Amino acid sequence: MAVITYREALNQALREEMERDETVFLIGEEVGVYGGAYKVSQGLLEKFGPKRIIDTPICESGFTGVGIGAAMVGLRPIVEMMTFNFAILALDQIVNHAAKIHYMSGGQFAIPLVVRGPGGPAHQLAAQHSQSMESYFCHVPGLKVVRPTTAADAKGLLKSSIRDDNPVIFIEAETLYPMKGEVPEDPDFTIPLGVAEVKRAGRDVTVVAYSRMYYLALEAAEELDKEGISVEIVDPRTLRPLDKETLLASIRKTHRAVLLESGAGYAGMGAEFAAVIAEEAFDDLDAPIERVTGANAPMPYARNLERLKTPSKTQVIETIRKVLA
């Protein structure tokens, strides 16, 4: 067990998988010489050379398509998006091609592609650099969507994503890169996709949170602990396919659900989780399902407004109290 940062965990995952399988390569802006805009790929060019670590021009659609074409004929590309806000330029390639070629070809061509990079808000990066993109991708049948929370999640899930024969959208978080955590050192350590984790056991309410919001939920839970309110936190880790069993088992135990996400709430992930819970655990609910989400506005620049846009610990605590009333 080593204690490393989320960033290092990703770096290790890339390194190990590229060592293990020579069809794996990394392609994106600044991934090579620069070592990655967020230093996730630091040292990889030196180790693997320019054949396998490829710096691209600024053409998201172009180089994502390159990844798809390479995947069609048997390689395993990892396409880095400097941030997922830029992935919108590649949405046609991801949604119309990567997600659908396997289906449209009647199963002939698999697309073992990983599109990875940071997503969600950071600090005062304003509207075009702060979006949470997971809902966009979750809506598309054919894509898998992962948002790792801890360093261990990052390493284990990235390795699985690279080994997965489907297009996987792997959204990290900029503010989590320096976060430290315990990570197993076994090079075969992987976390399967589609498996959630109860990161904190509790009795009174289930809070569903992933990525940065998990840490917020944890703070709220620790404060409420002092009042004797026991909060269970379920981290889906993979958003599609969703591990319903773990989620529903938790609801059946606590009878209350609070769904947390940092992106704008309308048609966000909470909407899907809430529908699943309402459909399949209706008779176990002792209170309405509540969501705590980012405000429905683009991310403003001013620090005070930015704070208002994203969920706060107070909001989480108040909402938990509300469902316990």
Partner 1 sequence: MAITRVVMPKLSDAMETGKLLKWLKKEGDRVEGGEILAEIETDKADIELEAFGSGVLRKILVSPGTDVPVGAAIAVIADPTEDISGALGSTAAKPAPTAEPKTGETVSISPSSASQTAPAVEPEAEPTPTGRVRASPLAKRLARESGVEITVLKGSGPGGRIVRRDIEAYLAQGKRPAPVVRPVPLRPAAATAVGPEVEDRPLSSMRKTIARRMAESKATVPHFYLTVEVKMDHAWGLREQLNRLEGQPKVSVTDLVLKASALALHAHPEINASFAGESIKIHRRVHLGIAVALDDGLITPVLRECDAKSLSEIAGEARDLTERARTRKLKAQEITGATFTVSNLGMYDIEEFSAIINPPEGAILAVGSVVEQPVAEGGQIRIGRRMRLTLSCDHRVIDGAMGARFLQTLTRLLEEPLRLILSS
Partner 2 sequence: MLLIRRFEEKAAEMYALGKIGGFLHLYIGQEAVAVGAISALRPDDYVIGTYREHGHAIAKGSDPNRVMAELFGKATGVSKGKGGSMHLFDKSCHFLGGHAIVGGPLPIAAGVGFAINYRGGDQVILCFFGDGTVPQGEFHESLNLSALWKLPVVWICENNRYAMGTAIDRFLARTEIWKFGEPYGIPGEALDGMDVLAVREGVARAVTRARAEKRPTLIEARTYRFRGHSMRDPSAAIYRTKDEVEREKQRDPIVLLRERLFSQEHLTEMEWKTLAEEVEQKVQGAVDFAESSPEPPAEWLVEDVYRATKTDGAKPWR
The answer to whether 277 and 257 have CB atoms below 8 angstroms apart is: yes
280 binds partner 1 (CB under 8 A): yes
CB of 208 to partner 1, least distance (A): 18
The total of other beta-carbon atoms located within 10 Å of residue 219's CB is: 14
Q: Is 165 in the site for partner 2 (CB under 8 A)?
A: yes
Stretch that binds partner 2, among 33-41, 104-112, 114-122, 204-212 (CB under 8 A): 104-112
Q: Which stretch binds partner 2 (CB under 8 A): 53-61, 212-220, 286-294, 297-305?
A: 53-61
Closer by beta carbon to partner 2, 9 or else 220? 9
**Residue 92 or residue 286: which is nearer to partner 1 going by CB?**
286
Q: Which residues contact 40 (CB under 8 A, 6 or more apart)?
A: 7, 10, 11, 14, 80, 172, 177
Q: Find which of partner 1, partner 2, none residue 240 binds, CB within 5 to 8 Å per kind.
A: partner 2
Active-site residues, by number, are 60, 129
Total chain residues near partner 1 (CB under 8 A): 17
Q: Residues 154, 148: contact at Cβ < 8 Å?
A: yes
Q: Which two tokens stand for residue 78?
A: 């990892």
Q: Is 47 in the site for partner 2 (CB under 8 A)?
A: no
Check binding of 286 to partner 1 (CB under 8 A): yes
CA separation for the pair 144, 274 (Å, rounded): 20
Q: Are 25 and 75 in contact (CB under 8 A)?
A: yes
CA pair distance 5, 274, nearest whole angstrom: 32
What single DSSP character describes residue 133? -
Report the site for partner 2 in 261-320 (rule: CB under 8 A): 276
- 49 contributes a contact to partner 2 by CB under 8 A: no
Exposure class string for 176-192: b at 16+ Cβ within 10 A, else e: bbebebebeeeeeebbe
163 binds partner 1 (CB under 8 A): no
For residue 66, the partner it binds in partner 1, partner 2, none, with Cβ less than 5 to 8 A by kind, is partner 2
**What is the spatial distance between Cα 118 and Cα 116, in angstroms, rounded to a whole number?**
7
**Residue 187-206 contact track with partner 2, rule CB under 8 A, x = bound:** ---x-xxxx-----------
Q: What does the alpha-carbon distance between residue 133 and residue 153 come to, in Å, rounded to a whole number?
A: 19
Residue 33 touching partner 2 (CB under 8 A):
no
Tell which positions 242-261 bind partner 2, by CB under 8 A. Answer: 242-245
The least distance separating partner 2 from the CB of residue 306, rounded to whole angstroms, comes to 32
Residue 85 CA, distance from chain mean position: 14
At position 46, the amino acid (one-letter code) is E
Q: Does 19 bind partner 2 (CB under 8 A)?
A: no
**Nearest alpha carbon to residue 32 among 14, 10, 6, 50:** 50
The contact set with partner 2 (CB under 8 A) reads 25, 51, 56-57, 59, 61-75, 77, 92-93, 96-97, 101-110, 141-142, 144, 160, 163-166, 190, 192-195, 238, 240-245, 276
* Contacting positions for partner 1 (CB under 8 A): 227-229, 244, 255, 279-280, 282-287, 321-322, 324-325
